[in-house]
A and B are shown apart, each in its own frame.
Chain A
Amino acid sequence: MTIRTEPVGPPDLRAKRGVPVELRSLRRSFGDVHALDDMDLSIAPGELVVLLGPSGCGKTTALRVLAGLEDADSGQILVDGRDVSGVPTSRRDMGMVFQAYSLFPHMTARENVAFGLRLRGKGSAERRRIAGEYLELVGLSAQADRFAHQMSGGQQQRVALARALAIRPQVLLLDEPLSALDAKVRVQLRDEIRRIQLEVGITTLFVTHDQEEALAVADRVGVMWQGRIEQIASPQEMYSRPASAFVAEFIGLSTPLPGTSSGAAATVLGSRMPLLPGSPESGPVTVLIRPEAIRLAPADPADDPAVAATVLATSFLGAHGRAQARLADGTVLTAQMSSAEVSALAVGERVTVRLEPVPSLAIPPRAGTGSAGGTQAGPAATGRAGS
């Protein structure tokens, strides 16, 4: 989908600029569970930050604390330099889109969008005009007089977005707004959200468990784990330079392979792999190899038997494809190649594994790595983490 960049949004919101948001040392516990554990986060004006992480990592709690729907046990929330920690939700000036459909069922789309405006004392004609503009922004002018039950899930979430933006909030909060939608609508609306966010320049915090979604829309992605942000970086940096084993395993696929580190590189399956900062500088290591760094070529009898593998499965994913292969020691690895290369492979075929010198993260040797039944790394092995 092409993202439009010409400003078509309502003039009042176009004129508005984003504000900085800062979460400082936030703590929030539910019984013995520390949902937020000294969490810090800074969002620049107009930036879209996505919090990503597995279920129970605290990402939704962070968003709800920012919205005022949960109270933090300690810490500060600064919006445009003002501490809003004690300010009730209704006065925080934040628009929010929820995971569950949250349109008021007894109101039409227009009335839903106008709801917040009415609370701000706008007159009937002005409410109608502004609601119409925001419905146009989300492409639903024709559905203005429909009730929630007369709209699809995607349309309902668009109206919810228009409703959240219509009050001209300082910050936009998106709590897994796409997770209830089917795949195609999810991708469309994801791009739509990014387009609108860029148009209006509003500071946005987006929470999701879908890493593809996160990488697609974010200015920066923050991967959360056990109530803290493990790493926050641009999508490209997050993927190519993970700061920890958890991030490397959570974002994208990676295959843990045994190797020996010396200096800034490690020897894995006979190839020299450059290592990312933070990797052990010497001794045996486990190197987390991205699928694009692995090539499978027809077997050559002259090759080292250690790099010989058997193709287990292939899958077609459009422009590229993936193949799973098992090494002689039982380790299963995943390679990502062009569709043509993948379709040239046959299940059961003997192949040779070669590694491209892509900078990778190494971690101290992990029990089981390289042994029979070696696993694909982390929760990202499925391509999408749990909710």
Chain B
Amino acid sequence: MTAVTQPPPAPRPAGPTLTVRPQQLRRRRRRKQSVMRWVVIAVVMAFFVIPLLSMLYFSVRFPLSGKWTGQAWSDIIHLGSLAANDPANYGQLWDGLRNSGILVLLTVLIMVVLLVPTMTWIRLRVRWLSRVMEFICLLPLTIPAIVLVVGLGPVYRIVSNMLSTNAIWLCFVYVVLVLPFAYRALDAGLGAIDVVTLSEAARSLGASWVTVMWRVVLPNIRSAVVSACFISIALVLGEFTIAELLARNNLQTGIFLVSQSDGQLAVTMSLVALLVAFVLLLVLSLFSGGRRSREGA
């Protein structure tokens, strides 16, 4: 019998080819991912930016003559005096702008005053009600505006008799409309802190319930409140259907009316409203960052 001995396998060359190849692959993959990322960003940005640029283009150029002009922007700046001089064409837009401004303030105020203490109280004392609260708050999301208006018609006839036909009373229905969005934002904020322990700690230190809300709960859900406010502002500034169907005048109905006589001003006004909302978002998100984030970890 002969013993067969096989030579030991030759050591694999630890040359550069073996280590370089995966590196090249990795680099190529990274480059590919980077390109894809920029493509996605470009497409998304195009989706948002192209309409805005088109609006900007339309606002500074006469459609027929093709001449560049800043007239519409100048009119926006002097909208008050323009409305006073030509109330038939611009009065509705001016009124609508003013009404929407007041509606924003009232809606946000009522929403915060109504929702924040209620949701906090439910978390503190009646947790079993949270499902009911969630259901009620999300309900407006499932009801189309047109259906809402059918129900709101008789209600607003009473409101008109008791208060007035002023558009600012739309704030009540707007509070209902913003409930689903505000609820979600506030619920996330309250869920992120231990409301029960914090409020019990504050109470044990001598704080009244008002102090607990004002000094402990609100500062800790500030970003959630700000988010809820922003969503509410955006919704109120963009609401058209209910105001139109209830024959009330707000910014969107004003823009609609003015668009029939001065399309350029209407588009410029829409763009301004969008920019205001955008700037507001920036300001609020900076504000909501608060002290803690500035201090850093």
CB distance from B292 to the nearest CB of A (A): 6
**A120 an interface residue at 8 Å Cβ cutoff?**
yes
Q: In A64-123, which residues have CB < 8 Å from any B CB? A: 67-69, 88-96, 98, 100-102, 104-106, 115-116, 119-120
**A150 an interface residue at 8 Å Cβ cutoff?**
yes
Asked if B203 and A89 make an inter-chain contact with CB atoms under 8 angstroms apart, the answer reads yes
CB distance from B240 to the nearest CB of A (A): 39
Query: Which residues of chain B have C-beta atoms less than 8 A from A202's C-beta?
Result: none
Most buried by A among B202, B203, B205, B222: B205
Asked if A147 and B194 make an inter-chain contact with CB atoms under 8 angstroms apart, the answer reads no
**A149 an interface residue at 8 Å Cβ cutoff?**
yes
Q: A105 CA to B198 CA in the complex, in Å?
A: 9
CB distance from A186 to the nearest CB of B (A): 19
Q: Chain A: interface secondary structure?
A: mixed
Asked if A96 and B201 make an inter-chain contact with CB atoms under 8 angstroms apart, the answer reads yes
Asked if B198 and A90 make an inter-chain contact with CB atoms under 8 angstroms apart, the answer reads no
Asked if B201 and A147 make an inter-chain contact with CB atoms under 8 angstroms apart, the answer reads no
Query: Which residues of chain A have C-beta atoms less than 8 A from B207's C-beta?
Result: 90, 115, 119
How many B residues face the partner with a CB closer than 8 A?
24
Q: In B154-205, which residues have CB < 8 Å from any A CB? A: 193-194, 197-198, 200-205
Query: Which residues of chain B have C-beta atoms less than 8 A from A115's C-beta?
Result: 202, 205, 207, 215
Q: A149 CA to B200 CA in the complex, in Å?
A: 20
Asked if A94 and B204 make an inter-chain contact with CB atoms under 8 angstroms apart, the answer reads yes
Query: Which residues of chain B have C-beta atoms less than 8 A from A147's C-beta?
Result: 292, 295
**A163 an interface residue at 8 Å Cβ cutoff?**
yes
How many A residues face the partner with a CB closer than 8 A?
31
Asked if A69 and B203 make an inter-chain contact with CB atoms under 8 angstroms apart, the answer reads yes
CB distance from B221 to the nearest CB of A (A): 10
**A62 an interface residue at 8 Å Cβ cutoff?**
no
Asked if B292 and A96 make an inter-chain contact with CB atoms under 8 angstroms apart, the answer reads no
Q: A100 CA to B215 CA in the complex, in Å?
A: 20
List 12 additional contacts besides A106-B219, A147-B295; criterion CB under 8 Å.
Answer: A90-B207, A94-B204, A96-B200, A98-B197, A98-B200, A98-B201, A100-B197, A102-B194, A106-B291, A149-B297, A164-B204, A167-B206
Q: Report which B residues bind A (CB closer than 8 A).
A: 193-194, 197-198, 200-208, 211, 215-216, 219-220, 222, 290-292, 295, 297
Report the 9 A-B pairs with minimum CB-CB distance, sorted nearest first: A116-B205, A102-B201, A96-B204, A89-B203, A106-B219, A119-B206, A100-B197, A102-B197, A90-B206
